[in-house]
């Protein structure tokens, strides 16, 4: 599979965990746990780290907390893999401020979610992302997640945004493979734009269509298994890639057991990796829910 370069010289590719934000019991950022998690993920074979995103509970973090999380991650990664930062805001000015904060911290790229709560039309979404891209020299990844935001980036809008030099990719978490395929189809003539899958059950399918990788929440828990989906595909082992995808599916399907992102954090805790609680009101899982999750992890061979 040919991986092309974009205008910035940066191509998002491979398996990029949407990293949780480890918290203390008081819901403060746990730096020590984050440093351990960074190394667990890199040692697991991932190809990048995506912090302060949806799985990282960006919505509950102050700008100062985000700066600390980014700085700690950059310090621990030490250039081993690219670092992507979520700079999501409801307003354009908030996303611009957070994008510039991330640039000051020298991340490799930013990912920007569509606004939530408000429902801008496609022309307004185009201007929103255009203005954010104009505020930074960093590569910008569009982020479409209509199940969470109620806002959907239309394929035609994405194709138009792909013409902006530093808008280099889109992460699609819609779960609609037809939509993902349309993003790829309408931008396939541009060697400077790529598409990333954001639904962990569809990584293999998206790669077949021409996606360059995935930003995957499940990669927190099963980094090697997720990396296998991508690496086996790139190596031409389609059977092995599909086998890894099917092996991963039960974990993603188990997300419904608890309030997101509790299943990811609880899974890490069950594996002996410090993650801490989710921010209230997304509370801890019940004993019964933990038993259900534990059974999934045992059946996947992740937990003994």
Query: Where exactly are the structural domains of the chain?
Result: 14-246
Cis peptide before 248 (omega within 30 of 0): no
Q: Is 55 annotated as a binding residue?
A: yes
Give the residue numbers marked as catalytic: 143, 171
Task: Return all residues near 162 (Cβ < 8 A) that are at least 6 apart.
Answer: 187, 190, 192, 193
Give the pLDDT confidence of 131-168 residue by residue, as tens digits: 999 999 999 999 999 999 999 999 999 999 999 999 99
Q: Residue 8: is its pLDDT beyond 90?
A: no
Q: What is the pLDDT of residue 189?
A: 81
* Residue 7: predicted pLDDT: 55
- Sheet with strand 109-113: strands edge to edge: 14-17, 213-216, 194-197, 167-172, 140-144, 109-113, 83-86, 49-51
> pLDDT by residue (tens digit) across 83-142?
999 999 999 999 999 999 999 999 999 999 999 999 999 999 999 999 999 999 999 999
Please tell me whether residue 132 adopts helix, strand or coil conformation. Answer: helix
pLDDT of the residue at 304: 87
Beta strand 167-172 with 194-197 is parallel
The more confidently predicted of residues 291 and 8 is 291
Is the pLDDT score of 6 beyond 50? no
Confidence band (pLDDT; 50, 70, 90) for 9? confident
The answer, yes or no, to whether residue 289 has pLDDT greater than 90, is: yes
Please, what is the average pLDDT of the chain?
Answer: 95
Question: What CATH code would you report for 14-246?
Answer: 3.20.20.70
Q: List pLDDT tens digits, range 201-257.
A: 999 999 999 999 999 999 999 999 999 999 999 999 999 999 999 999 999 999 999
Q: What percent of the chain has pLDDT over 70?
A: 97
pLDDT at 11 over 70: yes
Round to whole Å and give the CA distance between 291 and 293.
Answer: 5
């Amino acid at each position: 599979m040919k991986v092309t370069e974009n205008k910035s010289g940066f191509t998002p590719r491979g398996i990029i965990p949407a990293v949780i934000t480890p918290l203390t019991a008081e819901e403060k950022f746990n730096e020590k746990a984050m440093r351990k998690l960074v190394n667990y993920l890199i040692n697991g074979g991932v190809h990048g780290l995506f912090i302060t995103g949806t799985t990282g509970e960006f919505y509950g973090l102050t700008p100062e907390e985000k700066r600390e999380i980014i700085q700690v991650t950059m310090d621990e990664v030490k250039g081993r893999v690219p670092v992507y930062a979520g700079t999501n805001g409801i307003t354009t000015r908030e996303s611009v401020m957070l994008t510039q904060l991330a640039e000051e911290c020298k991340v490799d790229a930013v990912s920007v979610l569509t606004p939530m709560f408000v429902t801008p039309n496609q022309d307004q979404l185009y201007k929103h992302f255009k203005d954010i891209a104009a505020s930074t020299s960093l590569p910008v990844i569009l982020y479409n997640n209509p199940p969470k935001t109620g806002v959907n980036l239309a394929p035609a809008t994405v194709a138009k945004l792909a013409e902006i030099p530093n808008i280099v990719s889109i992460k699609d978490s819609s779960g609609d493979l037809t939509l993902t395929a349309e993003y790829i189809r309408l931008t396939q003539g541009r060697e400077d734009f790529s598409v990333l899958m954001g639904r962990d059950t569809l990584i293999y399918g998206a790669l077949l269509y021409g996606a360059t990788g995935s930003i995957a929440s499940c990669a927190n828990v099963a980094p090697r298994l997720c990396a296998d989906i991508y690496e086996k595909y790139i190596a031409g082992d389609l059977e092995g890639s599909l086998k890894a995808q099917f092996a991963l599916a039960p974990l993603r399907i188990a997300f419904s057991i608890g309030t997101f992102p509790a299943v990811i954090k609880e899974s890490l805790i069950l594996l002996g990796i410090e993650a801490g609680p989710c921010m209230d009101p997304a509370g801890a899982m019940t004993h019964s829910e933990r038993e259900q999750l534990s059974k999934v992890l045992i059946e996947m061979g992740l937990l003994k």
